[in-house]
Structures are given as structure tokens and as C-alpha cells.
Structure 1
Amino acid sequence: MTEQNTRLGIWLMILTTFVFAIQDGISRHVSGEYNVYMVVMIRYWFFAAFVMAVAARKAGGLRGAVRTTQPVLQIFRGVLLVAEIWVMISAFVLLGLTESHAVFTVYPLLIAALSGPILGERVGWKRWSAIGVGFVGVVIILQPTGGVFSPLAAVPLLAALMFALYGLLTRYVARRDSAATSFFWTGVSGAITATAVGAFFWEPMSGPDWGWMIVLCFTGTAGHFTLIKVYEVAEASAVQPFAYLQLVFAATIGMTLFDETLRPNVVIGAAIIVAAGLFTLWREQLAQKKT
């Protein structure tokens, strides 16, 4: 891996986080007017088409992408990701982009915590300490008002847990399936699930909002395309820290377009979570170098 490729990968990751932040802002707007199930269904139609187009260009084509010895796990991954998107977009509407993303940044720590029981990886005391510190950050973000936590605070935390499980299962199936196969099953099984639920919640959409819906679909596709390119030109360990910029971009959109406020406890808590996440990433890199 050359320095030039790593630099390109970093810039592509920054672009990816920016595109996904825009996608989240549009999702917040559209889902504030229409039900989340219909919005996700339409979005997944475009995503599934993109997935099949990518698979068709790979060696072996669609037939090669379909082949898997783990169909149940692959389908479950796709269903889980759809459910996580339902939950996270609901969090955007209920809590706003800023606080939802601040809590969601805990998912790498959840991956580290669950990698032991699910993947059989060793989690040492230093990682556990970082995980504990990260959850202190979550508690700071969810600072109770009047001494009582809002039940809405659990929504983005649930989304983070679901996404962490999805990430771990993706690692697990990668032991026997190619990335193209996992990507294909994610899109297709997800689209079927989203349609099976979303079809029951169809409601008329205005012309301008259809415009936003189309932009949402294109940003989702563009984000996944640039993310694929990121990992083609650079090592994941080199670019992963820059994924946290999505929190910055999402918070900026939330404050400028949705009049959200950035409370001091959210800033402090998010900084603690990000620092703990970067520490676990650093420990993972050290472990990989020793093997």
C-alpha cells in the first residue's frame, strides 16, 4: 500500500462520511413527513439495484455472488441491517441528528465487547477499560433531565447495538464467503424485507418530497460506492478513524438545517466515546502486527 493510495483512501472516507451525513439529514426530513417503513423500502429498491449491478461486474457475476454456504446467516444480516436503519432513522426524528449520532458512535466499542463471545477473539483488560470509558461518555451524553433518563435515549443506543452485531456477523461470514457475496445478500435480502413491511405503509408523497426521496436514494448509492472504493485503495486501519467525521458533519447539518442545539454534555460525551474508540482501534492494530 503506497502513501499516495492511503491519502486517497482518507479523502474518500471523508467524502463518504459527508455523503452519509447528507443522507441522514434527508432521511430525517422525509421520515418526519412520512412513515419510516415506506422511506426505507424505496431507498432499498435503489440499493438492491446498485448491489446487483456491482455483483454483475465482479468475477463470476450474479451467480457467483449468490453462492453461499451460510444462507441463513446472510439473510439474517440483511434483515438486521434493515431493522437497524428503521431504528436509527426513528432516532433522527425523535432525538435529532446530533444526539443520535453522538450515541451511535459507541458501536465500535460494542463490537470490541461482543467480539469475544461471537467471534472467539480475546478481549484484554485494556480494551475492557476503553469500553467502560466509552460507556461513561454515553451516560454523559444522556444526562438525565430532572433525574430521569428519557426512554427515547435508548433508541440510538439500540441502533448502535444492532449495527455492532451486524458488523460482527459480517466478519463471521467473511471466513467462508467473499465480500461480493455478503454485499449481494445484504442488498437483496434487505430489499425483500423492507418491501414486505413497507408495502403495508404506503402513503401518497408530494412532488417536492419525491425529489428529496430520489436524492436520498442517490446519496445512499453514492455513499456505498465511495466506501467500496475506500477499501480498494487503502487499508481499513488507516482510514477507519476518519469515519468519526460523520458525527461532525451530521451535527453541523442538524444545527444549521433543523435548529438543533449542541449541548456541552453531548460534546464532552462524544469526545470521550471517540477517544475510547480510537484507542480500541489502535490496540487492534497492535494485535494484528503481532500475529
Structure 2
Amino acid sequence: MAVQNTKAGIILMLGAVFTFAVQDGVSRLLADKYNVYLIVMIRYWFFALFVTVMAARSAGGLRRAVATSQPFLQSFRGVILIVEVLVTIYAFVVLGLIPTHAIFASYPLMIAALSGPVLGETVGPRRWLAIGVGFVGILIILQPGFAVFAPEALIAVAAALLFAIYGLATRYAARKDSAQTSFFWTGIAGVVAITAVGAFHWEPMERPDWIWMAMLCITGALGHYLLIRCYEVAEASAVQPFAYFQLVFVSIIAILFFGESIEWNVALGATIVVGAGLFTAWRERQKGRKVSGASALR
């Protein structure tokens, strides 16, 4: 059994979400000048190379990573993630980094709400209460019925829902496939899907912008590497709450480099959503401990 190091796991998680925040900032910058399909396609070419190298270096190599009894499900995961990335970057442009991430933070609550009907998991009354409170936070951010309501905010809601579906599909796939296999199929199925579309949206990129594109590719691969290392040294339930720091890092980048500001309703709503998400994560951890304890007694 691997030695757990929660402190190292927290540091790696913070490093990962900071890297992803930088990636989002660069995506926002490039999306102001170029179409989203081009940006995501080039990023995924590098990502596909990254997952292939990681699979080749792992136990069993590429043959083990490719092997799956559920290729349709794995392909669906890769495609749905590509769509989510496209929608999210588009939301960055039309809505802004801060509101998009504030709304996107609700995806764990969506996963919890859908885990019952989709995966057959039990969702207790306390978790349902947390889910309900979290969605009140989303309504505060959206401000439906007010003149300031931005319909573009629904794009961010769609992105969160797509990522929740991806998360549920990943959980379902994990019943038969290893994390290594799912990670490999995410990159390969995704690059095939985006290339099939993005190839028709190619446009020349100015030479200085290739530096930003390279940074986008590197931060994407580095963020995933740090996340993998994080889950290797610490329990997911112990480090997952620190993933919410991505909202903090993104907010700093948005304010410093894109002139965004934090509206009161976004700040309040995001606080409620994150609080509900942290409570849901805590309940899942408590439930996991009870299951582990019961298993140890058998």
C-alpha cells in the first residue's frame, strides 16, 4: 500500500489548480483573437501526445491503456469533455473568467444530484439540502428576473452540466476500467473529435501568439501531471476541497490582466456554492469512512 502524504497532496493540488487557472487565462486571451475550435484542437494535439507518453511509461504500456470492454462509453467521455472545454472557453469570452468559474463551481453538486438516478448511489437528506442550498447560490449569481441578468450566464451553467455528465461517465467507466485507461481514452477520443471539426476552422496564427499557444499546451499537460501526482500521494477526499482555490486564482488573474471585477451577487453566490460543495465532499468522505470501517469488520 502506498504511503499517504496529505500535506504533499495539498501542495500538489494547489499547484495543479493554479496551473489550470493560468491555462484558463491564456485560453481567454487567445479566444479574443482566434476561433475556439483552433485553440482547443492545437491544445489537444499536445495533450494526446502527453497521455500517450504517460501510458507508454506506465505498467503494461500502451496495450494495457488501450484495452477496454466499453469503448463507446470511453469515447463518449472524451467527446463530452471536448464539448465542455469549447463551451467553457466561449463562456470566458462572453461572460468573463470570474462569473464563469463561480457558476462552474456548482458541478460537484450536479454530480451529487445526478448520482442517484444515473449511478444508483444513495443521496441522503443532508446532501440534498446541500445541493438545494448550492443551487440557491447559483440563482443569486444569475439574478433571474432582474434587469442585470445576463443570458450568457446560461452558457456557464451548460458547461458545468457537461462537466458533471463527464464526471458521472468517468465514475461509471471506473467500474470496469483503470484510471490509466480512462485517462488515455480521454485524450485520444478527444483529439479525434476536435480534429474532425477544428480542421475546417484553421486560421493562421501570428508568430507572437504561438508563444501563448505553447504556454497553453504546457500548462494543460503540467496541470494534469500535478493532479495525477496529487492523487498518487493523498486520498482524493482529503485534497478535493482545495480544488476550489482555482476560483481564487482565476479571480486574481481576471482582475489583474482582464480588468474584471467581482460583483456582490457573484461573490455571495460563489461563497454559498463553494460552501455547499465542501459540505457535500465532507459527507462523501464520512460515508467512505463508514464503508471502509464496515468492510474492515467483515
User: Could you report, residue by residue, the CA deviation over 1:214-261 in whole angstroms, capped at 9, with x for unpaired residues?
Assistant: 110000000011000000000001100000000000011011100001
Decide whether aligned partners of structure 1 residues 148 and 260 sit closer, same or farther in structure 2, where only a CA change above 3 A counts.
closer
Q: Which runs of 4+ in 1 moved over 3 A?
A: 144-149
| Corresponding residue number in structure 2 for 1:265 | 265
Residue 93 of structure 1 aligns with an amino acid whose one-letter code is V
Residue 118 of structure 1 aligns with an amino acid whose one-letter code is V
Q: What TM-score, normalized to structure 2?
A: 0.95
For residues 248 and 191 of structure 1, the distance between their equivalents in structure 2, rounded to whole angstroms, comes to 30
- The equivalences for 1:157-176 within 5 A come to 157-176=157-176
Q: Does 1:182 align with 2:187?
A: no
| Corresponding residue number in structure 2 for 1:76 | 76
For residues 241 and 146 of structure 1, the distance between their equivalents in structure 2, rounded to whole angstroms, comes to 32
- 1:33 alignment partner, SS class: coil
Residue 244 of structure 1 aligns with an amino acid whose one-letter code is Y
For residues 9 and 148 of structure 1, the distance between their equivalents in structure 2, rounded to whole angstroms, comes to 41
For residues 148 and 42 of structure 1, the distance between their equivalents in structure 2, rounded to whole angstroms, comes to 36
Residue 40 of structure 1 aligns with an amino acid whose one-letter code is V
For residues 182 and 159 of structure 1, the distance between their equivalents in structure 2, rounded to whole angstroms, comes to 21
Q: Does 1:141 align with 2:119?
A: no
- The equivalences for 1:54-93 within 5 A come to 54-93=54-93
| Corresponding residue number in structure 2 for 1:94 | 94
- The equivalences for 1:107-256 within 5 A come to 107-144=107-144, 146-147=146-147, 149-256=149-256
**5+ long unaligned stretches in structure 1:** none
**5+ long unaligned stretches in structure 2:** 292-298
For residues 48 and 159 of structure 2, the distance between their equivalents in structure 1, rounded to whole angstroms, comes to 22
| Corresponding residue number in structure 1 for 2:39 | 39
Decide whether aligned partners of structure 1 residues 145 and 183 sit closer, same or farther in structure 2, where only a CA change above 3 A counts.
same
Residue 18 of structure 2 aligns with an amino acid whose one-letter code is F
Q: Does 1:8 align with 2:38?
A: no
- 1:93 alignment partner, SS class: helix
Count of residue pairs the alignment pairs up: 290
Shift of 1:264: 1.1
Residue 248 of structure 1 aligns with an amino acid whose one-letter code is V
Worse-superposed segment, 229-238 or 280-289:
280-289
Residue 243 of structure 1 aligns with an amino acid whose one-letter code is A
User: Could you report, residue by residue, the CA deviation over 1:80-105 in whole angstroms, capped at 9, with x for unpaired residues?
Assistant: 00000000000000111001000000
User: Could you report, residue by residue, the CA deviation over 1:250-276 in whole angstroms, capped at 9, with x for unpaired residues?
Assistant: 011011100001111111100000000
Shift of 1:13: 0.3
User: Could you report, residue by residue, the CA deviation over 1:32-63 in whole angstroms, capped at 9, with x for unpaired residues?
Assistant: 11000010000000000000000001111111
| Corresponding residue number in structure 2 for 1:18 | 18
Residue 269 of structure 2 aligns with an amino acid whose one-letter code is G
Residue 275 of structure 1 aligns with an amino acid whose one-letter code is G
Residue 82 of structure 1 aligns with an amino acid whose one-letter code is I
For residues 13 and 270 of structure 2, the distance between their equivalents in structure 1, rounded to whole angstroms, comes to 20
For residues 48 and 102 of structure 2, the distance between their equivalents in structure 1, rounded to whole angstroms, comes to 29
Shift of 1:144: 4.5
For residues 36 and 145 of structure 2, the distance between their equivalents in structure 1, rounded to whole angstroms, comes to 28
Residue 150 of structure 1 aligns with an amino acid whose one-letter code is A
Shift of 1:118: 1.1
Q: What TM-score, normalized to structure 1?
A: 0.97
CA RMSD in angstroms comes to: 1.2
